[in-house]
Amino acid sequence: MRQTSLPVAGDGLIGERALVTGAASGIGAACAHALAAAGAEVVLADVADATPVAEAIVAGGRQAGAHPVDVTDPSSVATLVAETGPFGIVVNSAGVLTERALEDTDLAQFDRTIDVNLRGTFLVGQATLPAMRTNRRGRFIAITSELALTGRARYSAYVASKAAVIGLVRCWALEFAPHVLVNALGPGPTDTPMLDYEALPDDMRAAETPLLGRIARPEEIAAVAVFLAGPGATFITGQTISPNGGAVFA
Ligand SMILES: NC(=O)c1ccc[n+]([C@@H]2O[C@H](COP(=O)([O-])OP(=O)(O)OC[C@H]3O[C@@H](n4cnc5c(N)ncnc54)[C@H](O)[C@@H]3O)[C@@H](O)[C@H]2O)c1
């Protein structure tokens, strides 16, 4: 029989405690929903208010709570983890997108992009991975981007930040093996507030979706995060898994 719904529900993560950053919106919110649907108790952390997402999860009979965090701020991240950790699963989805030609990118935009996407990943990893090693178990999933694999004109600050996240993941996979598995998840274009897909010119929209003719739903990215967090992914570490609808052959 043809499958029409995503296999994200189930009990594969019962007993797990998961942190999702950037959980107020988009891919992070979808990851929080999907991890909770799979049985995890989820801490939703964001600089924006993630309470509505947490309330929707709880209304569905699963466990979740919202907490403020600014992933660029070490004391904010430390407070979050001290008050809500330790975690068996971390999905770092907090991120910002910068689209600007090189000559028009000012240093403040570059710094902000690197701060949230790279420094944020570094701080969340530093605050959560050592406890995973102590507990001899854990999964860390860093959201990067398909664009880190391809590059893109006018996105150099963003692409550099996301390529650097892949560097962190490769090092951390080595540093925290064998009990902690660390992977990068690099989505292709996904229907979230970050990507104003409808506003893109037709040629760019077509270039975004060469094989499947559509962008991803956040739930399709979250399904990969749940897989990487779950019992089926015990031999995957240091990898960049890119659900991109065939836009990149890696
Ligand atoms: N949407 C796409 O097409 C796409 C493609 C590839 C990768 N990504 C990546 O996926 C991740 C999620 O993006 P999205 O599309 O869901 O975007 P989104 O804008 O819907 O969500 C990003 C979330 O990150 C939060 N955030 C931003 N700065 C923060 C900070 N300093 N501290 C804590 N939270 C912060 C925002 O408040 C927001 O809720 C990002 O890392 C993004 O780069 C998105």
DSSP assignment of 185-235: E---SBSSTT--GGGS-HHHHHHH-TTTSSPBPHHHHHHHHHHHHSTT-TT
Query: Residue written as tokens 């999933």?
Result: 141
Q: Provide the pairing of β-strand 240-241 with 180-185.
A: parallel
End-to-end CA separation in angstroms for the chain: 30
Whether 155 is catalytic is no
Rounded CA separation 86/136 (Å): 12
Q: What does the radius of gyration of the chain's CA atoms come to, in whole angstroms?
A: 17
Given a cut of 70, is residue 139 above it in pLDDT?
A: yes
Q: What pLDDT is stored for residue 218 in this prediction?
A: 98
User: Could you read off the pLDDT of 47-74 as tens digits, one per residue?
Assistant: 999 999 999 999 999 999 999 999 999 9
3-state secondary structure of 133: helix
3-state secondary structure of 174: helix
Mean pLDDT of 37-47: 98
Overall pTM surpassing 0.85 (yes/no): yes
Cβ–Cβ under 8 Å, residues 92 and 21: yes
Strand pairing partners for 44? 20, 66
Given a cut of 60, is residue 22 above it in pLDDT?
A: yes
Q: What pLDDT is stored for residue 5 in this prediction?
A: 40
Q: Could you tell which of 44, 114, 155, 194 is best to mutate to test the pocket of ligand 1, judged by most ligand atoms within 8 Å of the CB?
A: 194
Q: What is the distance in A from the centroid of ligand 1 to the CA of 2?
A: 32
Q: In this prediction, what percent of the chain has a pLDDT beyond 90?
A: 86
The active-site residue out of 140, 155, 158, 172 is 158
Q: What pLDDT is stored for residue 175 in this prediction?
A: 98
Nearest CA to ligand 1 atom 8: 145
User: Could you read off the pLDDT of 201-223 as tens digits, one per residue?
Assistant: 777 777 777 789 889 999 999 99
Q: What pLDDT is stored for residue 250 in this prediction?
A: 65
- Does residue 233 line the site of ligand 1, with CB under 6 A? no
119 conformational bin, left if phi > 0, alpha if psi -120 to 50, beta if neither: alpha
Q: What is the distance in A from the centroid of ligand 1 to the CA of 144?
A: 10
Sheet holding 64-68, edge to edge: 64-68, 41-46, 17-21, 89-92, 138-143, 180-185, 240-241
Q: What pLDDT is stored for residue 248 in this prediction?
A: 83
How many of the other CB atoms lie within 10 Å of CB of 131? 15
User: Could you read off the pLDDT of 76-128 as tens digits, one per residue?
Assistant: 999 999 999 999 999 999 999 999 999 999 999 999 999 999 999 999 999 99
Q: Could you tell which of 93, 97, 159, 204 is best to mutate to test the pocket of ligand 1, judged by most ligand atoms within 8 Å of the CB?
A: 93
Given a cut of 90, is residue 143 above it in pLDDT?
A: yes
Rounded CA separation 130/162 (Å): 23
User: Could you read off the pLDDT of 118-135 as tens digits, one per residue?
Assistant: 999 999 999 999 999 999
Reference 112, options 126, 124, 100; nearest CA is 100
Q: What pLDDT is stored for residue 10 in this prediction?
A: 67
99, burial (CB in 10 Å: exposed 0-12, middle 13-18, buried 19+): middle
| CATH number for region 17-241 | 3.40.50.720
Among the atoms of ligand 1, which is closest to the Cα of residue 72? 31
Given a cut of 60, is residue 1 above it in pLDDT?
A: no
Rounded CA separation 221/33 (Å): 12
Cβ–Cβ under 8 Å, residues 188 and 146: yes
Residues 6+ apart with CB under 8 A from 140: 90, 92, 125, 128, 129, 132, 169, 172, 176, 180, 181, 182, 183
